Amino acid sequence: MFGLGILAGLLVLLLGAGAVATWVMTARVERQFPPLGEFKSVEGTRMHLLAAGQGRPVVLLHGANGAVQDWKASIFDRLAQQYRVIAVDRPGHGYSERPANGVVTPEVQARLIRGALKQIGVEKPVLVAFSWSGSLALAYALAWPDEVAGVVMLAGAAYPWPTPVNAIYRLPNTPVLGPLFTHTVAMPLGSVLLDGFAASAFAPSPVPQSFGASGLPLALRPASYRANAEDIYHLKPFLLLQSERYGTLKPPIRILHGDSDGVVGLEIHSRALLRLAPNATLEVIPGAGHLLHYVAPDRVLAAIDAVAAQTR
């Protein structure tokens, strides 16, 4: 019994140290990557948007573990030279709040983002969706087809995948252990693993120096980590139902996917969407990994130009 008491005391001390470390690291990360844009309230949820430029609206939707800084570090400024470009922090990510009740599906996120865009006068945008947000852009286009000029999918998630959801996304969704993990362990442990995560996402390309400004550490904050885990945990059942409707998609869709992507499968997602979506085209980029807006920015900008020209 005495030994168990010592172990319990040590565990409490370790968890306490993890909680303090998480608090300190969160404050440091938020100083390093502060909000870049403006805030709008939609259905009682505060949404963070970064906008610049003039002309045809182009809306940038980040992937898992993302924020508006990810676009600012890659193609945002180039797009702003000829478009009105808006990058949005998805609910619970970056500096956007997360609705407190219910599962915040891609459809719910699309509705909140649409509400924020309406408040700043955005009409009929081109949606540029990276990775997880492929599901969101398709949900937006299905719900409001006449309000979308077109969609550019960058290795976008569109279908349920066969492998189980990783334990690091299942654990935060469990009672008691989930909040304990996100507030004590996730940030200190995740900060050690970030470099390896980035290397695998960029492979076979090296990680560019510009990725250091992507704001990735913001995703390790407890609330953001929990939001990201919920997004991934609930995505497969959502896509199982949504994918049955892709044959009704109206807007033009240009799909870009690297043939060396080890994160989102080319065959499972992009080739399958190409077969079903009526107005879709697919461009496979040889030797490219997952983060196309860093490793193939010219191809991404050309795809956005093509969709904008097609619907002008």
Sequence-ordered list of residues with C-beta below 8 angstroms from that of 282, at least 6 positions apart, any chain? 255, 256, 257, 270, 271, 274
Range from 24-33, 67-76, 161-170, 267-276 carrying the lowest mean pLDDT: 161-170
For residues 292 and 130, give the distance between their C-alpha atoms in angstroms, rounded to a whole number.
Answer: 9
Q: How many residues does the chain have?
A: 312
Q: Span 7-20, mean pLDDT?
A: 66
pLDDT band for 13, please (50, 70, 90 cuts).
low
For residues 75 and 280, give the distance between their C-alpha atoms in angstroms, rounded to a whole number.
Answer: 23
User: From the centroid of its chain, how far is CA 174?
Assistant: 22
Q: Span 26-32, mean pLDDT?
A: 96
Cross-sheet strand order for the sheet of 253-258: 38-42, 45-52, 84-88, 57-61, 126-130, 150-154, 253-258, 280-285
Q: Which of 214, 187, 181 is nearest to 198 (CA)?
A: 214
Look at residue 51 and give its three-state secondary structure: strand
Task: Fill in the amino acid letter for 110.
Answer: A
% of the chain residues with pLDDT over 90: 83
For residues 125 and 136, give the distance between their C-alpha atoms in angstroms, rounded to a whole number.
Answer: 14
27 pLDDT higher than 80: yes
> What confidence score (pLDDT) does residue 115 get?
98
193 pLDDT higher than 80: yes
> What confidence score (pLDDT) does residue 17 get?
77
Contact between 255 and 281 under an 8 Å Cβ cutoff? The reply is: yes
pLDDT band for 10, please (50, 70, 90 cuts).
low
1 pLDDT higher than 70: no
> What confidence score (pLDDT) does residue 12 get?
57
Tokens of 177: 């252990």
Question: pLDDT for 103-114, tens place per residue?
Answer: 999 999 999 999
> What confidence score (pLDDT) does residue 6 get?
61
CATH class of the structural domain 2-310: alpha beta
DSSP letter for each residue of 73-135: TTTHHHHTTTSEEEEEPPTTSTT----SSS---HHHHHHHHHHHHHHTT--SPEEEEETTHHH
Question: pLDDT for 66-104, tens place per residue?
Answer: 999 999 999 999 999 999 999 999 999 999 999 988 899
User: From the centroid of its chain, how far is CA 256?
Assistant: 16
% of the chain residues with pLDDT over 70: 95
> What confidence score (pLDDT) does residue 11 get?
55
> What confidence score (pLDDT) does residue 176 get?
84
User: From the centroid of its chain, how far is CA 215?
Assistant: 12
> What confidence score (pLDDT) does residue 78 get?
98
312 pLDDT higher than 70: no
Q: Report cis status (omega within 30 of 0) of the bond before 35.
A: no
Q: Span 20-29, mean pLDDT?
A: 92
